[in-house]
Structure 1
Amino acid sequence: MATQWAPVPTAYGDLVDHVADLDLPGGGHTTVVGLDAGGSQDPVVLLLPALGVAAGYYGPFVAALAAERVAVLVADFPGQGASRPVASRRNDFGYAVVSDAVVGATVAVARSRHPGRPVAMLGHSFGGQVALVHLAADPSSADALVLVGSGSPHWRGYRRRLRLLAQTQLVGAVAAVRGHWPGHRLGFGGRQPRRLMREWARFARRGDLVVERGSERAEPDFGALDLPVLALTLDNDDLAPRGSVDGLVDKLTSARVEHRFVAREAGEHGPAIDHFVWARHPGDLAAEVAEWVRAAVSPG
């Protein structure tokens, strides 16, 4: 989260195909979109969106990855994009549902649609946190992980620390009172359930990502994850500066983490890169990610 509110993009892309419909716990549903590309040995990327961002927003980046012979699947998180119902007092959930139901089902779609192909997860912002929660529960679901502008919201990872702490706790408090976070009206994160915002606000306050599964409340064992990870810090990204990204990847004590900084001035590839621009104007970033993923999942 930024030290100032930032508008969340909601435009739905036109460069992706409908892939599958998924049923969610409690009678909800969501949609998986993406593009098929590559052959039997080429990787498949599961792109996990940022908070409040529709799957189709990533259309240009998905198309750019497909041009590199990488198949891509993106699912709308519950209540985002084409997914229904939206968050409310009755439709409440946290990290566990997003991780177990949506990411788990998307992995199953990938295995069925692209049998035998290596799978990598790419988490954008909140999507990277969800990827870690899922991988901690099911390490075999992916062979590699890319984090793009994805970090910990812990207040100590930001320059304006006290302001950030106050903002994150305000989100949790508003969600508790209203029964959901009305981010679609307030300019941050889209409409989100109170349980998720409670977990996220606690993450921002304490630095540990405590996931609620029934009566169990604990941070997953991120330190046990053993896989290659590419962590990309983006220029002009107040939502996930280097301190924030470090705060997340430092939990991956057994992973093989490579940290890169991505900068691009405004020019022929579009506007200067930031927390959201890369998805609509990927430039060379898709080729860089595809090259890393291909090397990371190659045998030997």
Structure 2
Amino acid sequence: MADAREHVLAGTRGPLHVREWPHERPRYLALLVHGYGEHIGRYEEVAGVLREHGAAVLGPDHAGHGRSAGERVLVEDFEDLVTDVHAVAGLARAAHPGVPLVMVGHSMGGLVAARHAQRHRGALAALVLSGPVIGAWELPRRLLALDEIPDTPISPAALSRDPAVGAAYAADPLVWHGPMKRPTVEAFARTLRTVREGGDVGPLPVLWLHGDDDRLVPLAGSRVGVERLGGRLTERIYSGARHEVFHETNRDEVFADLLRFLDGVLP
């Protein structure tokens, strides 16, 4: 998007790259929280949809991801990512005081966004979770039981039924294509427990989006966490969809559900 702006904040692990899709008089603020191994640049389309709907949109590259500082995909404590995301929320609020804030977290970003909602109760007008790593996600337990974590990158075909999505992901130099790192897997396991024990989010409106053919973050495991998180829950489960519902072949349907939810919960 031609008029996107770039910011650099002081993050918990060094300079934090933030992209903004501005809106002169936003109806609401949307903070996008990306997933493991990727970067905020992959969210151009959803940012455009939200901005057209009246939002000023921002999102960081997490520490160790994209253009932000840090060893690649090393996350020793997810609380640091929550702190960084909260700093981006502060940047948005400083520019647009009094405007409601919606957080949209995908995959690992769903874990970060859920933890943010627990740590900063009352700060959000709504929470959107897309294929969230939350609840009974079995991958960390399986990997930590091994002496060595295998070098098995994410399959591009697991992201979407649209082959162009997988091809772009595979060719993207800002995407991590190597193995997971043990400290990151350990941090996943700890934070899944933290969110499980962190209490519900009260009356916060929550939208849960998930593909029923998500092989990276299976639907049943996420349901355990989403239901425990609570809030005023709306769920949309898409038949045949894989992990990245915002990049799926039925993404127009997904975007329509997202905007309908926001229209129903925002003043």
Distance 1:210 1:107 in 2: 22
CA distance in 2, matches of 1:132, 1:103: 12
CA deviation digits over 1:148-194, x for unaligned, max 9?
111436257xxxxxxx57643258x647xxxxxx9xx6314947664
- Is it true that 1:276 corresponds to 2:244 in the alignment? yes
Aligned-pair distance for 1:199?
A: 2.6
- Which of 222, 238, 242 is the equivalent residue of 2:215? 238
Q: 1:104 aligns with which of 62, 86, 94?
A: 86
1:61 maps to a residue whose letter is V
> Is the counterpart of residue 262 in structure 1 residue 238 in structure 2?
yes
* CA 1:117–1:155: 2 relative to 1, 3 Å: closer
TM-score, length basis structure 1: 0.70
Structure 2 CA distance for partners of 1:246 and 1:39, relative to 1, 3 Å: same
Compared with structure 1, are the counterparts of its residues 85 and 134 closer, same or farther at alpha carbon in structure 2 (3 Å cutoff)? same
Partner of 2:255, secondary structure, is: helix
Is structure 2 residue 186 aligned with structure 1 residue 209? no
The aligned runs of 1:170-185 (5 Å cut-off) are 174=148
Q: Which runs of no fewer than 5 residues in structure 2 stay unpaired?
A: 155-174
Letter in 2 for 1:232: L
- Does residue 143 of the first structure (1) align with residue 125 of the second (2)? yes
In structure 1, list runs of 5 or more residues that go unmatched: 1-13, 157-163, 176-181, 212-218, 265-272
For residues 22 and 105 of structure 1, what CA distance do their matches in structure 2 show? Answer: 8
Find out whether 1:49 has 2:34 as its counterpart.
Answer: yes
Name the SS for the 1:142 alignment partner: coil
Measured against aligned partners, the alpha-carbon deviations of 1:217-244 in whole angstroms (never above 9, x if no partner) come to xx65232543010111224311233312
Q: Cα RMSD over matched residues?
A: 3.0
Call closer, same or farther: CA 1:291–1:80 in 2, change over 3 Å: same
CA distance in 2, matches of 1:221, 1:120: 20
Report 1:243-254 matches (<5 A): 243-253=220-230
**How many angstroms apart in 2 are the aligned matches of 1:201 and 1:279?**
27
Q: Which residue of 1 aligns with 2:106?
A: 124
Partners of 2:64 and 2:3 in 1: CA distance = 19
- Secondary structure of 2:63's partner? coil
- Note the C-alpha offset of 1:143: 1.2
Count of aligned pairs: 244
CA distance in 1, matches of 2:145, 2:50: 38
State the match for 2:186 in structure 1: 198
Distance 1:250 1:154 in 2: 12
Output the TM-score relative to the length of structure 2. 0.78
- Contact 1:31–1:83 (CA under 8 A) maintained in structure 2: yes
The AA in structure 1 aligned to 2:89 is V
**Is the contact between residue 168 and residue 201 of structure 1 (CA under 8 Å) also seen in structure 2?**
no
Could you tell me how far apart the structure 1 residues matched to 2:127 and 2:256 are? 16
Is the alpha carbon distance of 1:222 and 1:186 closer, same or farther for their aligned partners in structure 2, counting shifts above 3 Å?
same
Q: Percent identity?
A: 25
User: Is 1:113 aligned to residue 95 of structure 2?
Assistant: yes
Aligned residue number for residue 70 of structure 2: 85
Deviations 1:270-299 (A, max 9, x none): xxx42136247632422331231232122x
Q: Secondary structure at the match of 1:32?
A: strand
Q: Distance in 1 between matches of 2:199 and 2:262?
A: 21
Question: Does the CA-based 8 Å contact 1:199-1:210 persist in structure 2?
Answer: no
> Given that residues 38 and 69 in structure 1 are in contact (C-alpha distance below 8 angstroms), is that contact kept between their aligned partners in structure 2?
no
